[in-house]
Structures are given as C-alpha cells and as structure tokens.
Amino acid sequence: MSEILWAPWRISYLKGERPPGCVFCDAPAQDPSRDEQNLILYRGREMFVIMNLFPYANGHLMIVPYHHTDTLDEIKDTAALEMFTLLRHCRHILTKSMWPQGFNVGMNMGRVAGAGIHEHLHLHIVPRWGGDTNFMPVLAETKVISDHLQNTYISLRPHFDELRRELLGDHPSGEDDSKA
C-alpha cells in the first residue's frame, strides 16, 4: 500500500508561479504588523531574517539585504558585517530552540547555481539533524517537514525579539525601551 503526503503549498513553487515583484523587497516594505504573515522574524538596519516558505528543513532561515541586488559586489561592508553577525545569531537561536546537530549555510548565486530567487541575494541557514535525510528525497524528490511554518515562527520569534532589543535597543513594534 502506498502512502500519500499532502503538501498543497508546494504546487505553486513547483509550477514556478510567483506573484509579480520581488518577495524580498515587497515583504519588508509592508507594515511590520504583517511580519508573522510574511514570516519575517527580524528587521535589522540593512538586513532582515525571514523563514523560507518552501524550506529544506524545519527552521530554514534566510538573511536578506533590503537593497535589491543579485551580487555581493553591491553589498556595502556594513551590510556584509550585519549579514554575518546575523548568521552567528541565527545559528545560536536555532541551536537554543531546535537543537540541531549541524547546519548548511550558503548562497546560490545565479539561476544555474540553483537560486530559486536569483534576482535578490540571500544567505540560507538550514538546521540539520542526524537521520533527517531519508529515502524520500532520493526516490520521490520529496522532503518531509515535520512542523507547520507558523508553529516554527511562533517558537522562534521571541528569540529574535530579544536579539532586536540587544542589537538595536528597541522593541519589534518600534516602541522605545525607555517607555517600557
């Protein structure tokens, strides 16, 4: 007897359907009150952290510059420093909250390199566990994600709120610490 995995959210990705515009420009341009809907966990000075809508594993995060570019050459040094500072913090937060045994970190620059959104540079950090790969990717080109994106968002967001207060000295809503 064969089993069916139901993952309807993947069909638009598999068909290559994307809304017009750039998700990495459009999502952070929206009001911060929509961050949960847009899966934005953190807004920094030049970078933001967003969950991957089509993750390779639970907790798959992306660190993205606000500046729309597809090349590292256009990233200011301050943005590059913020990107790698956030990478360290993301690894720490994921370790503290999800206990992975390792990480994949990298960028796919260009369509031929495997970038799903090749027009806007972004850095992936993917938590990994022993045994998290199985026969599904090999035989069915399918990955199994064991938790809902919203549950993962809810569990990670308080850690990123704390990070925002630590790095930027303010609250996610923009409320000043001195008023709290």
Question: Would you name the residues annotated as active-site residues?
Answer: 122
- The string over 39-70, giving b where at least 16 C-beta atoms fall within 10 Å of a residue's C-beta and e elsewhere, is bbbbbbebbbbbbbbebbbbbbbbbbbbeeeb
The β-bridge partners of 61 are: 51, 125
Instruction: Name the residue with tokens 């996610």.
Output: 172
The β-bridge partners of 165 are: none
* CA-wise closest residue to 123 among 21, 49, 18, 31: 49
163 near 89, Cβ under 8 Å? Answer: yes
Measured between alpha carbons, how far is 153 from 51 in angstroms, rounded to an integer?
A: 8
Instruction: Count CA atoms within 13 Å of residue 35 on its CB side.
Output: 17
Instruction: Count CA atoms within 13 Å of residue 141 on its CB side.
Output: 2
